[in-house]
Structure 1
Amino acid sequence: MIVSRSRVLRALVAGVATLAVGLVSVPPAEAEPGAGPGGAAGPTATARARVAADVLMSSYEPVKAWFPSSWWNSAVALQTIGDYMERTGDRRYLPQLDNTFEKAKGVFPAGYLSGDPLLGNFTSRAIDDSEWWALTWIQTYDLTKNPKYLAMAVTIAEYVEDYWDNTCGGGVWWDAERTYKNAVTNGLWIRLTAELHNRIPGDRHWLGRAQQGWNWFVGSGMINADGLVNDGLKTGTCQSNNETVWTYNQGLAIGAGLELWRATRNPELLTTVRRLADSAIGARGLVSNGILTESCDVLGKVCDDNQKQFKGIFMRYWMDLTDTTHNRRYTAFQTRQAATVWDNDRDAAGRLGLRWSGAASPTDPNVFDWRTQASALSALIADVPAQPPVRSLSASMSPAQPVVLSASGSATHVKLVARLQATAPAGQRIKAEVRASGPSGWTVSPRQATVTLYPKGNAVPAQAEVELDVTIPGGTADGRYPITVSATSGPLLSFTTQAEILVARTVNFDTGTAAELPWLWDAGGSQSHGPQNRFADGNAYFVYRFPFPSGTTAASTTLTIDNEYHVEVSGDGRRWTTVARETRHIHGGENKAVRTFDLTPHLGPDKAAYVRVSDSFPEEGWGGRVTHVSAAFTS
């Protein structure tokens, strides 16, 4: 039966035909066209989403075609990029979506892309993981209308369908071992099947599955008396386990009801959706001081890598809710999330963190990685008007290099690049006035420049660059100093970005912290799971650059390092010399040691030294891990 249904559905489907640093917005002089209700003006919201999306995609690993270290999370991050493209009209990242589709659709052993073996066509024993990929390919189909993506979603749905049975009266199992029926798997199932119905002409099968899934879900007991969605059902008794109300379960329930409503126009669905939404933002809901807050992302608690992305999933479907209902209360909540992310939740590298309120303490810092970036990006995307503005202007800066000063007191120069991006209808130009400034006593040249950009629509923003020379006076005290660049075009387009220059006389930092960022020349697909943790698995690597003073005669670096490391040094960042390589198969860090490497023979003509760490056994995926770095020099 499944084979014949597949043939019918495939016939139907076949017939359907760079890294920004410290970004800070400047409010426009007056209301801009295309502004969302109560939110940032349309061009500003679009520009914010663009720079945040670019930061996210800087972590995309093109060889394996994913975001390293996480399988289902990669699906959600790519779907978020799809949301960004659909919302803004930007189409620059379609090649990466297709790269993932073509490279990752095969069969893979456990540990290569997922902890589980991948069975082909983005399926595995983790049923919910498979569903996330199906939604990603439907999103890609919506962007491209290429039927291969919709066909893949059908293939995945057919696989998932075999895990629906009558245990507990219905529902899809969470895993192939059939151990748990839960909210996420079934929320995904309803949304997936309803989306298929809404895209396949003449379909009745998937509509029936969506309605069946919704009726079972709302009657399962997982929606508690407060209108909040508990995690799942107790095995054996089939009663709600009353476990944690995660934001993504609430969001998926809202999204599932909305997509099914589009298929049926049944008003009872919207009634239930509104109850779920009101409960989420009510007094007993999922907010703290008006900010969406996961139970694990408060001070004193820790979210795991999966939980880091839950709030973004909630906001994805909340955006659908505001687009559908135009409810002012829902829109106001959405606007507030975007504002707090932009104003409070960015670090010096323009990354978006776990706690949207920005809450942090010396012992419990905010967490920043590509997962938190993808999650918070969804809040910024939701603030972009459903009809995006045709004109926008954003600015970003190249990562500011740290400056190591000697005791001689001589001035030091740093080169920076300000990058502008703009959209406008073809034939229209955007003439931007660029102004640069630094701390008192510093010189930034040029201080003012005029740049003309020639956009050709929204699909590929036009780009221009302004090179800046920054002079740091001798005797400048150690610390962090901002270089600010603002770009303005007329009264309606304005954006400001900052690069933070670190002036130091010593090099000494823990990895995975804000102190590491100025020295991290190239992240190279490496990952960090918090303080004292940076690792490079497979084809990933990371490079530190130490710009020693011009009079340096000797230098060294000391790394606390373990696992299967490969350490290389260079004077120019292009030609590398191996100085250490782990030849044993070490997966548990038992070789952890403090190792010092002489950089003197490898200093470049400008006295800079580069240190690269990678994986000595890339096929195993237990590459070099560094927890602490220091460097010393004699001048």
Structure 2
Amino acid sequence: MRVAWVRGALVFVAGADTVSGQTKSTPPALTLFDDTLDAVRVMQNDFFQPWVGTWPTAIDWTAAVMGTQVTGALHSLSRNLQTMRVSGNQGNDFKAKENLVSLYFSQLVAFYFGQDSLSLRGQAFDDMLWVVLGWLDATRFIKDHSMAHFDGLLGVAPFAQEQGWYGNQWTAAFAHRARIFWHLAERGWDTRLCGGGMNWNPNLSPYKNAITNELFISASIAMYLDFPGDTNSAPFGAHPGAGFGASAPSGTAIYPPKDRKYLRAAVNGYSWLVDSQMMNNQGLYADGFHISGYPQKNRTKCDSRDEMVYTYNQGVVLSGLRGLYRVTGDPSYLEDGHNLIASVIAATGWDLRRNTPLDTFSARVPRWYGLGRAGVLEDACDITGSCSQDSQTFKGIWMHHFATFCAPLEPDDSRVAFNGSDAIHLVECKRYIPWLQHNARAARGTRDERGRFGMWWTAGLLDTLTTVNMVIGPDTLPAYGEDAVDYRNEGVPQDEKWMGGSRPIVMRAGAAVRDVNDRGRGRTVETQSGGLALLRALLELERL
């Protein structure tokens, strides 16, 4: 695909190979599971450095999300171990499978030490809550993988030490970090301003935004459901009767599991979010609320809404809604989640009833519907290649929490009983599969020769076209109005780390050829995690 500027408009020349002039060949098809494994392989091989225990190009909060995406991949890998086949000697089949799990789990453990947890303690409340979600996901993986594949080890020999899978030894450490950061973050909740809600950043003027409140909801219900307890009071020693770094007597949890304060926090958090009027007329969450004129006397009402819409603001709450339903059995939580998903899909320009995009490519790039075009999920910065490091992470976050929301429901002691909503939930989730397949087809088309995903998934469809001179016109550019401030892209440092720099134009056969996904920051660990999360979401839904 060639790209050029013509009279101020970005023009895509698509459909022909720039060397031979022939239609671009499609890469050999792999199975969805193979594609997902390849996505995590590229993400870890190209971007993760075991000796420092992190993705060096990531920043603190995006690294926390990367850890969550690796854990998600481990969940899917574990669930597919029984059907996964390895070519060659089938006697080594189990060894190959478990070796793969151990590889990525060992990198997750390395990240526990590589994560800059000290710096994160002083950052914004949303940064802290990404940490909570990540390590609770990891403790849940340990539990599920151990129960599914290693229960038979218990008690078989003295060296087994009643622990089952070796990964169980890390549960206490992961849970401890999650607990520390939840208690640090809960300080962001206040009722003096805006009638409640989480403040975004303690060091800035009050801003009650969607992402911090959604994170608090999802992290709180996850603490209620998945936190196994903590016997270690470090680093604060704040528990009554505990000295600095003191531990409880063996087997006694200073911070017990199933503490209902976490459940209350999740219920209250979602109630506030619903009542806050954060949702716009498309059924999507705007970014957040300021208090106009603050800090003038008696100004306490959230009355100035930033109308900017980002994909991740529509996603994180989904795992919280799934957890709230799991505990309460209240079908309204599932209904709210499905309504939000339907709004997101509609905002990509996809007709759920007909399972087809509303527009196709013709002489112009298809129109913008609010969160995408031609049925493909986008953030507003995608088309211009101006996405910051923050925004490059957003679509993957949406896909991760969407997959969590649509995972199969199972009987749970914390829920009253199964009801008709369970069956309806699965039927609704299956309706999203064609849309996911369409997005996966687009995203796969953005991979370069090294298998790295690009940011702008829609560009992956361009090479399938015969139309040339596709021009971006004013009607196809995202616009949210003068009340929208894109501070996630326009308000970040304009340097190489956050925004990248200009990429050289590659010369092929004497013609200027440029991959549109090399613009700006280009392909990064954040864009790779987005492709991974999308493929994993489709893999999980096709299991339903």
Residue 155 in structure 1 maps to residue 180 in structure 2: yes
Report if the CA contact (8 A) 2:69-2:529 is conserved: yes
Runs of 4+ in 1 over 4 A off after TM superposition: 359-364, 386-389
Q: What is the distance in 2 between the residues matched to 1:136 and 1:106?
A: 13
Tell me the residue number matched to 2:142.
144
From 201, 220, 237, the equivalent of 1:175 is 201
Q: How far off its partner does 1:351 sit?
A: 0.7
Tell me the residue number matched to 1:244.
308
Report if the CA contact (8 A) 1:251-1:314 is conserved: yes
Tell me the residue number matched to 1:331.
433
Q: What is the distance in 2 between the residues matched to 1:373 and 1:213?
A: 32
Q: How far off its partner does 1:254 sit?
A: 2.4
Output aligned runs, 1:403-414, within 5 Å: none
Q: How far off its partner does 1:50 sit?
A: 0.7
Matched AA of 2:536: I
Matched AA of 1:379: L
Q: 1:94 to 1:226 in 2, by over 3 A?
A: same
Measured on the aligned residues, the alpha-carbon RMSD in Å equals 2.4
Residue 75 in structure 1 maps to residue 64 in structure 2: yes
Tell me the residue number matched to 2:405.
321
Question: Secondary structure of 2:67's match?
Answer: helix
Output aligned runs, 1:145-224, within 5 Å: 145=143, 146-166=171-191, 167-179=193-205, 180-200=207-227, 201-224=257-280
Q: 1:150 to 1:294 in 2, by over 3 A?
A: same
Report if the CA contact (8 A) 2:385-2:516 is conserved: no
Residue 365 in structure 1 maps to residue 509 in structure 2: no
Question: Secondary structure of 1:313's match?
Answer: helix
Q: What is the distance in 2 between the residues matched to 1:53 and 1:287?
A: 25
Q: What is the distance in 1 between the residues matched to 2:129 and 2:523?
A: 26
Residue 47 in structure 1 maps to residue 45 in structure 2: no
Q: What is the distance in 2 between the residues matched to 1:287 and 1:213?
A: 29
Q: How far off its partner does 1:164 sit?
A: 0.8
CA deviation vs aligned residue, 1:459-502 (integer Å, no higher than 9, x gap): xxxxxxxxxxxxxxxxxxxxxxxxxxxxxxxxxxxxxxxxxxxx
Report if the CA contact (8 A) 1:174-1:181 is conserved: yes
Question: Secondary structure of 1:296's match?
Answer: coil
Output aligned runs, 1:274-285, within 5 Å: 274-283=338-347, 284-285=369-370
Q: How far off its partner does 1:388 sit?
A: 7.2
Q: How far off its partner does 1:75 sit?
A: 0.9
Q: What is the distance in 2 between the residues matched to 1:163 and 1:281?
A: 32
Report if the CA contact (8 A) 1:313-1:375 is conserved: yes
Matched AA of 2:44: M
Q: What is the distance in 1 between the residues matched to 2:117 and 2:280?
A: 40
Question: Secondary structure of 2:392's match?
Answer: helix
Report if the CA contact (8 A) 1:64-1:104 is conserved: no
Moved more, 274-283 or 344-353: 274-283
Q: 1:174 to 1:332 in 2, by over 3 A?
A: same
Tell me the residue number matched to 1:312.
396
Q: What is the distance in 1 between the residues matched to 2:394 and 2:208?
A: 19
Report if the CA contact (8 A) 1:334-1:383 is conserved: yes
Q: What is the distance in 1 between the residues matched to 2:50 and 2:264?
A: 39
Tell me the residue number matched to 1:231.
287
Q: What is the distance in 2 between the residues matched to 1:159 and 1:385?
A: 33
Q: What is the distance in 1 between the residues matched to 2:27 and 2:130?
A: 33
Report if the CA contact (8 A) 1:126-1:176 is conserved: yes
Q: What is the distance in 2 between the residues matched to 1:337 and 1:25?
A: 18
Output aligned runs, 1:12-27, within 5 Å: 24-26=27-29
Residue 99 in structure 1 maps to residue 201 in structure 2: no
Output aligned runs, 1:571-582, within 5 Å: none
Q: What is the distance in 1 between the residues matched to 2:265 and 2:73?
A: 29
Q: What is the distance in 2 between the residues matched to 1:203 and 1:153?
A: 14
Moved more, 346-355 or 275-284: 275-284
Q: 1:23 to 1:148 in 2, by over 3 A?
A: farther
Residue 297 in structure 1 maps to residue 371 in structure 2: no
Tell me the residue number matched to 2:372.
287
Q: What is the distance in 1 between the residues matched to 2:346 and 2:215?
A: 24
Question: Secondary structure of 1:238's match?
Answer: coil
* TM-score with structure 1 setting the length: 0.50
Question: Secondary structure of 1:323's match?
Answer: coil
Tell me the residue number matched to 2:473.
none
Q: How far off its partner does 1:305 sit?
A: 1.0
Q: What is the distance in 1 between the residues matched to 2:385 and 2:270?
A: 34
CA deviation vs aligned residue, 1:75-102 (integer Å, no higher than 9, x gap): 1111101100101225121111111212
Q: How far off its partner does 1:187 sit?
A: 0.7
Tell me the residue number matched to 1:132.
130
Q: 1:105 to 1:23 in 2, by over 3 A?
A: farther
Tell me the residue number matched to 2:535.
380
Report if the CA contact (8 A) 1:173-1:182 is conserved: yes
Q: How far off its partner does 1:386 sit?
A: 6.3
Output aligned runs, 1:469-618, within 5 Å: none
Q: How far off its partner does 1:243 sit?
A: 2.3
Matched AA of 2:39: A
Q: How far off its partner does 1:322 sit?
A: 3.2
Question: Secondary structure of 1:337's match?
Answer: helix
Q: How far off its partner does 1:240 sit?
A: 5.1
Q: 1:281 to 1:386 in 2, by over 3 A?
A: closer
Q: What is the distance in 2 between the residues matched to 1:147 and 1:140?
A: 11
Q: 1:151 to 1:157 in 2, by over 3 A?
A: same
Moved more, 346-355 or 361-370: 361-370
Q: 1:307 to 1:202 in 2, by over 3 A?
A: closer
Tell me the residue number matched to 1:584.
none
Q: Could you tell me which runs of 5 or more consecutive residues in structure 1 were left unpaired when the two chains were aligned.
A: 1-21, 28-43, 108-117, 390-635
Q: How far off its partner does 1:242 sit?
A: 3.6
Q: 1:222 to 1:74 in 2, by over 3 A?
A: same
From 315, 320, 328, the equivalent of 1:256 is 320
From 328, 332, 355, the equivalent of 1:268 is 332
Q: What is the distance in 2 between the residues matched to 1:374 and 1:63?
A: 21
Q: 1:88 to 1:258 in 2, by over 3 A?
A: same
Q: 1:181 to 1:54 in 2, by over 3 A?
A: same
From 433, 447, 452, the equivalent of 1:346 is 447
Q: What is the distance in 1 between the residues matched to 2:126 and 2:319?
A: 16
Q: What is the distance in 2 between the residues matched to 1:143 and 1:78?
A: 12
CA deviation vs aligned residue, 1:303-337 (integer Å, no higher than 9, x gap): 11110110011111222233352223222222222
Q: How far off its partner does 1:105 sit?
A: 5.4
Q: What is the distance in 2 between the residues matched to 1:173 and 1:370?
A: 29
Q: How far off its partner does 1:278 sit?
A: 1.2
Q: What is the distance in 2 between the residues matched to 1:73 and 1:304?
A: 12
Q: 1:84 to 1:240 in 2, by over 3 A?
A: farther
Q: How far off its partner does 1:267 sit?
A: 1.2
Q: How far off its partner does 1:64 sit?
A: 3.0
Q: What is the distance in 2 between the residues matched to 1:271 and 1:386?
A: 18
Tell me the residue number matched to 1:87.
76
Larger RCO (CA under 8 A, 6+ residues apart) = 2
Question: Secondary structure of 1:102's match?
Answer: helix
The number of aligned residues is 337
Report if the CA contact (8 A) 1:220-1:239 is conserved: no
* TM-score with structure 2 setting the length: 0.58
Matched AA of 1:129: D
Report if the CA contact (8 A) 1:197-1:263 is conserved: no
